[in-house]
Amino acid sequence: MHWSFALLVAYVGYDGYLDRGLNGALWAIAFMLTCFACILLHELGHSFTAMHFGIGVRRILVMPIGGMAEFESIPRDPRQELLITLAGPAVNFAIAGLLWALESQLVPASSSTPANLREFGWLLKWTNVWFGCFNLTPAFPMDGGRIVRALLAYRLPYLRATFWAATIGKGVAVVGIGVAIYFHLWLLVALFIFILSVGEIEYRSVRNQERHAAEWAALSDRFQRVARGEIPPEPPLIRPN
């Protein structure tokens, strides 16, 4: 859990206090912690599916702008990446579905701060619907962007698929920043800026991996050809004294 998460708890508690006093502060903090528990379950959905395919998970980092599962590697198989990616939003939709089954016990909340368990459940239901849908936004490396990359990878080389997914993601993130600024949603602005930077970092990482793999393959091929006698070895480099 990132240290800045404590600042979010304080801010949410203060906002709830302004809305409904001390009782509102307690409900607001409880609701926020439950929402982040759902985010953690979302990331566990990714993680358990990745582990099913033999991919190690280093950690799950929870930040004020959301959560992030860090894998030891990203699968190059489009089918595996699709299943790992879809597992996260599927968890949120499953939680929303369970709460939908209790629809008769829930009541719409009059504000973003629940006043009782019935409002709490209603808000949590729609929050999970929002989590699931928002994560499917095609802003790489969000889940939607990874789905775009996986679908493109069926037709394009992996690096090219990553390039186009990252490019589409940048456009979506820029639009998202503009919309978030217009509505004064500063946490969402920070999220889209984070998406812009991380998407570019991941694209460059894939590009470097591809370049190193190509260089190693060329070097390995030359050694094999020299060993078979197809080409002479390079003469030693002689430096004048």
- For the segment 192-207, what is each residue's pLDDT rounded down to a tens digit? 999 999 999 999 999 9
Instruction: Point out the least confidently predicted range of 3-12, 31-40, 67-76.
Output: 3-12
- pTM (2 d.p.): 0.84
Residue 61 phi, psi (nearest 5)? -100, 125
Catalytic-labelled residue, pool 43, 81, 119, 202: 43
pLDDT number for residue 65: 81
Neighbours of 183 (CB within 10 A): 9
Q: What is the per-residue pLDDT for 222?
A: 66
Task: Check whether the bond before 141 is cis (ω within 30° of 0).
Answer: yes
Under 8 Å between Cβ of 121 and 31: no
15-29, 37-51, 146-160: which range is least confident on average? Answer: 15-29
Q: How far apart are CA 3 and CA 239, in angstroms?
A: 56
Contacts of 136 (CB under 8 A, 6+ apart): 89, 143, 144, 147
d(CA 134, CA 118): 24
234: annotated active-site residue: no
Most confident of 18-27, 102-111, 123-132: 123-132
Cα four-point dihedral sign 132, 134, 140, 142: negative
Among the ranges given (39-48, 105-114, 213-222), the one the predictor scored with the smallest mean pLDDT: 213-222
Is-contact 86 147, C-beta < 8 A? yes
Question: 146 with 158: CB under 8 angstroms?
Answer: no
Asked whether the predicted pLDDT for residue 231 surpasses 90, the reply is no
Q: What share of the chain is helix, strand, coil (3-state, %, to 5)?
A: 70, 5, 25
